[in-house]
Structure 1
């Protein structure tokens, strides 16, 4: 009986994680396809047109949906196991029209994609520089998303986490990169649909929880 209860709780936990991730995946599936097309597209003129579409998709789908995933994780922690598909969709819709912030981030990502496509393929130095910029962008996005989900977003709080919790922030960024990148390198594409982003957000939330506005004693202030 005890083992049955443990299995049931584990199943409900996995279901909660899956429903959050599935909402993110469905929102971003067109973006994933567009990224594949752009990366393999040979014609420069059409590339810039497609890259403009990509920027729009990042602005409207990717960035607000990551915030929605963090919000789903927060609600999961408050309510317990359950279905959070609609919770994520509702939060995404609420966040999708923050055009100024989302648009700025999307344009920067678009420049990175352009740089990798035309200048980075034959230059390790450019690849390294763009990789570093990409990591900083990811760190900003996950910090912003966490704080928005906690209804505590401001640039000062983003800087506070960046300055006082750099190790946690870097671990969070590496977690996102690893869990998404593993789909490509190990050909486990199903993971991006099942748990990649929601699990990364869960781990990052546990790293940031109760640490967003005060420094760790073990980290430099």
Structure 2
């Protein structure tokens, strides 16, 4: 009986993790396909058209969906095991129209993609510089997404986590990069769909759990 209960709880835990990640995967599947196309596309004028589409998809799907994953993780912690597919979709829709912030980040990512495509293939130095910029962007996206999910997003709290918890932030970024990278390079597509981003967000949330944050007075509780 005890073993059965443990297995049932483990199954419910995996189910919660899966439903959060599945929502993220379905939202970003067109973006994943577009990234593959762009990376293998000849360096012609059409590349810039495709990259513009990519920027729009990053702005509307990727960035708000990461915030939604963190929100799903938060609700999971509050409510316990369950189905969070619709919770993630609802939060994504609420976050999708923050055009100014999402658009700025998306444009920077688009410029990084352009730099890698045109200048990075033959220059290790440029690759290294763009890689460092990419890591900083990932760290910012993670921090922003966590804080938005906690209803505490503000520049002061972004700086607070960056300055006072740099190791936790770096570990969170490395966790995202590692889980997605391993699944990509090993071609474990099923893991990308099942748990890659949701597991990374769960680990990162645990890392940031005790971070001291100032309440954002501009947001509703």
CA displacement, residues 94-135 of structure 1 (integer Å, 9 cap, x when unaligned) = 000000000000000000000000000010000000000000
CA shift, 1:213, in A, is 2.6
Measured after TM superposition, the shift of residue 185 of structure 1 is 1.9
Deviations 1:57-76 (A, max 9, x none): 00000000000000000000
Give me the TM-score of the superposition, normalised by structure 1.
0.96
The worse-fitting range, judged by mean Cα deviation, of 185-194 and 18-27 is 185-194
Q: CA–CA distance in 1 between the matches of 2:111 and 2:23?
A: 27
Contact 1:20 1:85 in 2 (8 A): yes
RMSD: 4.6
Structure 1 distance, partners of 2:45, 2:22, is: 34
How far did 1:44 drift?
1.8
Q: TM-score, normalised by structure 2?
A: 0.96
Q: Say if 2:151 and 2:216, in contact at 8 Å, map to a contact too.
A: no
Higher deviation after alignment, 209-218 or 149-158 = 209-218
Q: Is this contact kept in 2: 1:164–1:215, CA < 8 A? A: no
- 2:119, 2:126 within 8 Å by CA — same for their partners in 1? yes
Tell me: CA distance 1:43–1:121, structure 2 relative to 1, closer, same or farther (3 Å): closer
- Cα deviation per residue 1:2-42 (whole Å; 9 max; x = unaligned)? 00000000000000000000000000000000000000000
Q: Which segment drifts farther, 139-148 or 205-214?
A: 205-214
CA shift, 1:184, in A, is: 1.9
| Equivalent-residue separation in structure 1 for 2:211 and 2:81 (angstroms) | 24
Q: What are the ranges of 5 or more consecutive residues in structure 1 without an aligned counterpart?
A: none
Query: Which consecutive segments of 4 or more residues in structure 1 shift more than 3 A?
Result: 214-221
Residue ranges of structure 2 left out of the alignment (5+ in a row): none
Task: Kindly state the Cα deviation for residue 43 of structure 1 after the two structures are TM-superposed.
Answer: 3.8
Aligned residues: 221
Are the equivalent residues in 2 in contact too, given 1:73–1:201 (CA < 8 A)? yes
Query: Does the CA contact (< 8 Å) of 2:43 and 2:118 recur in 1?
Result: no
Contact 1:19 1:85 in 2 (8 A): yes
